[in-house]
């Protein structure tokens, strides 16, 4: 039986402006330990409006996929509009191009970024415009998604405070690098395997292949009705089950490079098997990234362990290169 991941941090002290420095330091130290050991942890807090904002966003995400035809979704495609906003179909993103075995990535998604009015600098990400599904009750749908996006950015800033404390910086140091964040909200649907030919009951199918996230922080809302996320820890796959009123946070490659390997960008995947594949699986990751011009070099000193071609880039250049390596529309 597979192990179950459970490391959880209550981030209330980082969200509450009235908390004490001692309370914030305690939470920051806890976050730091989990980042060093696992690169993953759950967060919870009574200050997060779960039913008012989070649940509505998840319902809106499922509505997009359930009430949109393929033709409608294709009108919003990244391939059509040539920018990193909107819809991508199965096969448009390849997160693992290194596998030596045959795997099937069966996910589609829809990406939403911050409005260009939020930025003062011009680059391909700040100038990209969102493509909204006008055929839905678009005002309500957009309001629900933007409310969730704003909420998760505030959660992300709280986590940055915890990171800063753990790393020995001033508590607001990392936040100062996210004044115009290249944040992205993504809604995902992993199709049920019943839609595809069976290749044998023991075959593992991957909704998302083995990979590390290439940014700084990913904050994930999981589908309570469907598991599948696994992390690789000490050469063993561990289940990260969906938990009510909890979000999953993980460290990306950029944060690992910033900390020169102190924080771990952990390999993970989404597994779908024939035994539990009758329903789709939905999730909402938010990729919380810094300003375009932030350097990729180590923030904690020492000789870098990483490719100088990457660490000599600014974050925006690095992000563009990584997206080009995984999204077919950018080839």
Backbone CA torsion sign across 248, 254, 256, 259: negative
pLDDT at 101: 47
- Of 113, 132, 118, 171, which Cα lies nearest the Cα of 288? 113
Q: Which residues of the chain have pLDDT under 50?
A: 100-102, 200-202, 275
Largest Cα–Cα distance of the chain, in whole Å?
57
List the helix and strand counts (H, then E) for the chain: 9, 13
For residue 103, what are its two tokens?
A: 């795997």
Burial class (CB in 10 A: 0-12, 13-18, 19+), 249: buried
pLDDT tens string 201-212: 445 556 678 899
pLDDT at 275: 44
For residue 70, what are its two tokens?
A: 């393929």
- Is-above-0.85 flag for pTM? yes
Tell me the domains of the chain and their CATH numbers.
Answer: 3-330 (2.60.120.330)
Find the helix packing angle between 138-167 and 55-66, rounded to 10°.
Answer: 130
pLDDT at 302: 83
Backbone angles phi and psi of 115, in degrees to 5: -65, 140
pLDDT tens string 120-132: 999 999 999 999 9
Helix (H) or strand (E) holding 81, with range, is helix 78-81
């Amino acid at each position: 039986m597979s192990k179950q991941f459970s490391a959880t941090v209550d981030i209330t002290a980082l969200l509450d402006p009235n908390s004490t420095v001692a309370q914030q330091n305690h939470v920051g130290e806890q976050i730091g330990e989990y980042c060093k050991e696992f690169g993953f942890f759950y967060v919870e807090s009574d200050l997060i409006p779960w039913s008012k904002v989070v649940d509505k966003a998840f319902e809106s995400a499922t509505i997009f996929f359930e009430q949109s035809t393929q033709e409608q979704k294709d009108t919003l495609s990244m391939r059509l509009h040539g920018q990193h906003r909107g819809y991508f179909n199965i096969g448009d993103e390849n997160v693992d191009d290194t596998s030596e075995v045959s795997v099937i990535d069966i996910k589609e998604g829809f990406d939403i970024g911050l409005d260009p009015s939020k930025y003062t600098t011009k680059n391909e990400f700040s100038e990209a415009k969102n493509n909204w599904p006008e055929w839905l009750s678009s005002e309500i749908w957009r309001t629900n998604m933007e409310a969730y996006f704003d909420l998760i950015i505030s959660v992300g800033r709280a986590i940055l405070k915890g990171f800063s404390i753990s790393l020995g910086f001033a508590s607001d140091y990392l936040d100062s690098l996210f004044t115009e964040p290249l944040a992205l909200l993504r809604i995902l649907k992993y199709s049920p395997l019943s839609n595809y030919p069976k290749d044998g009951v023991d075959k593992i199918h991957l909704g998302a292949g083995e990979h590390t996230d290439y940014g700084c922080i990913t904050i994930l809302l999981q589908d309570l009705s469907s598991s599948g996320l696994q992390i690789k820890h000490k050469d063993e796959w561990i289940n990260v089950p969906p938990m009510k009123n909890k979000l999953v946070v993980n460290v990306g490659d950029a944060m690992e490079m910033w900390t020169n390997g102190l924080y771990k960008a952990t390999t993970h995947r989404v597994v779908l098997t024939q035994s539990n594949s009758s329903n789709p699986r939905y999730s909402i990751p938010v990729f919380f990234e810094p300003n375009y011009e932030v350097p990729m070099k180590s923030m904690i000193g020492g000789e870098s362990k990483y490719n100088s071609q990457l660490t000599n880039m600014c974050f925006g250049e690095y992000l563009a290169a990584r997206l080009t390596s995984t999204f077919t529309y950018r080839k």
